[in-house]
Amino acid sequence: MMFMPDPSAKIWLHTQPTDMRKSYQGLLELIKQQIKKSPLSGHFVFINRRKTQMKTLYFEPSGYCIWCKRLAQGLYHYQESAHDKYAFSPLELQHVLEGIKVEKYRQFKRYRRAP
């Protein structure tokens, strides 16, 4: 089963390598101290140093959830950032999960007609 957050969800990638032994409490501390966001404010994605494992921490009405994936082969490809966090769109997260590396990406603004 493929993990896909709600299209309106805020998704944050922690761009520094993360120790995958961390669980709820360790990841919550990273969110508060390094990403400087509320853990309730979206989905938080963490990738290990070798770029072969990913954990996503998010909050549902009944509590926190962790979704994990370890690749059998290959690496996760994502846009590197000098900052500790990078805002993802659900489409960008899907690309990372599917192994699609987008070299050049440009999204054009769509205008709606006035009623």
Q: What is the DSSP letter of 19?
A: -
Beta-carbon contacts of residue 3 (< 8 Å; ≥ 6 apart) = 56, 67, 69, 97
Query: What are the boundaries of each domain within the chain?
Result: 11-98
Better-predicted residue by pLDDT, 99 or 67: 67
> Average pLDDT, whole number, for the chain?
85
Ramachandran angles phi, psi of 47, nearest 5°: -130, 140
Beta-carbon contacts of residue 67 (< 8 Å; ≥ 6 apart) = 3, 55, 56, 58
Give the ranges where the chain is alpha helix by DSSP (H): 24-30, 90-98
> Among 41, 48, 60, which Cα is nearest to 3's?
60
pLDDT digits (tens, 9 = 90+) for 42-98: 999 999 999 999 999 999 889 999 999 999 999 988 877 777 788 888 888 888 888
